[in-house]
């Protein structure tokens, strides 16, 4: 009820919410001192959802796809919702309807996200996924070999890798770009990856070229890091920064 109330106050749809009698809503309590993130305490259930809940959720997503959907983000946190069956079903349904699917992966189902439009791991997730623990982004040949390995298994269209202080890397077919990070006063990195995938998906749905997608997503991830806590990216601020840097 509380989460639905928050959505309502923010003017956000709750059409995709499926209630479970067997799970609590994940609650993350962050301990912050002197504007520094010290500790996070999570209250949650991590087991996979039941077969009945899988089917209910897939049907809910199917019904939403048949409305006016521009893109779908699969934001994986290993919380038990995105099971292999759910992942495969959503991607298949979206591809049938030619709806772009973007992914922010986690380790457990890393290679379940085959045939998606955009796949966005961070450098750590890429290293773990392809089994290259010593991979150094400054060795571009080795880094791009790792990206090639990833794409060979996933058959995705676009790869966007976030590289922390090194910015982002984006690749589609033979086109590739390294986008440097902007200088920022970092207060808290919480939510940066979520912001990057959200803005990248928005740009993709708007039909931007991959370099502009990476540029604007990279910018947005840096902007939210300047504020302590988990914050949304403000549209007006993003427009202002895009204009200032002449990114579009």
Give 42's DSSP letter: E
If one counts every other C-beta atom within 10 angstroms of the C-beta of residue 126, the result is: 25
194 in catalytic set:
yes
Domain residue ranges of the chain, discontinuous segments joined by +: 46-245
Q: Which residues of the chain are under the pLDDT cut of 70?
A: 1, 186-188, 248
List, for residues 81-102, the tens digit of each pLDDT value. Answer: 999 999 999 999 999 999 999 9
Given 76, 104, 194, 215, which residue is catalytic? 194
Query: What three-state secondary structure class fits 203?
Result: helix
Cα–Cα distance list, 102 to 70, 182, 204, 205, 247 (Å): 11, 24, 9, 10, 22
Residue 207's contacts (CB-CB under 8 Å, 6 or more residues apart) are: none
Q: Please report where in the chains the tokens 């309502």 appear, as a residue.
A: 8
Cα–Cα distance list, 98 to 53, 164, 212, 235 (Å): 25, 32, 22, 27
pLDDT at 70: 96
Q: Please report where in the chains the tokens 């995709």 appear, as a residue.
A: 16
8 Å CB contact between 157 and 192? no
- Predicted model pTM: 0.92
User: Mean pLDDT score of the chain, rounded to an integer?
Assistant: 92
8 Å CB contact between 120 and 76? no
CATH of domain 46-245: 3.40.1190.20
pLDDT at 152: 97
CA 6/CA 59 separation, integer angstroms:
25
List, for residues 170-213, the tens digit of each pLDDT value. Answer: 999 999 999 998 877 766 677 788 999 999 999 999 999 999 99
Task: Name which of 101, 100, 99 is nearest 87 in CA terms.
Answer: 101
If one counts every other C-beta atom within 10 angstroms of the C-beta of residue 18, the result is: 13
């Amino acid at each position: 009820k509380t989460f639905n109330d928050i959505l309502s106050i923010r003017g956000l749809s709750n059409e995709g919410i499926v209630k479970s009698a067997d799970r609590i809503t994940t609650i993350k309590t962050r301990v912050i001192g002197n504007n520094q993130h010290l500790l996070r305490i999570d209250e949650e259930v991590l087991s996979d959802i039941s077969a009945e809940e899988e089917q209910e959720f897939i049907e809910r997503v199917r019904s939403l796809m048949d409305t006016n959907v521009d893109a779908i983000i699969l934001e994986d946190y290993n919380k038990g919702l995105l099971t292999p069956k759910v992942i495969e079903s959503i991607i298949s349904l979206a591809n049938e309807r030619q709806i772009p699917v973007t992914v922010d992966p986690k380790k457990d189902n890393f290679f379940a996200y085959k045939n998606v439009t955009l796949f966005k791991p961070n450098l750590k997730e890429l290293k773990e996924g392809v089994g290259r623990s010593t991979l150094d982004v400054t060795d571009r040949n080795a880094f791009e070999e790792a990206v090639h390995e990833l794409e060979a298994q996933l058959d995705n269209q676009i790869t966007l890798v976030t590289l922390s202080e090194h910015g982002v890397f984006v690749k589609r077919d033979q086109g590739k770009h390294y986008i440097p990070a902007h200088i920022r006063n970092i207060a808290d990195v919480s939510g940066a990856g979520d912001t990057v995938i959200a803005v990248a998906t928005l740009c993709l749905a708007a039909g931007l070229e991959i370099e502009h997608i990476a540029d604007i997503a990279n910018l947005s991830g840096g902007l939210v890091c300047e504020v302590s806590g988990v914050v949304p990216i403000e549209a007006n601020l993003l427009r202002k920064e895009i204009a200032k840097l002449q990114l579009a």
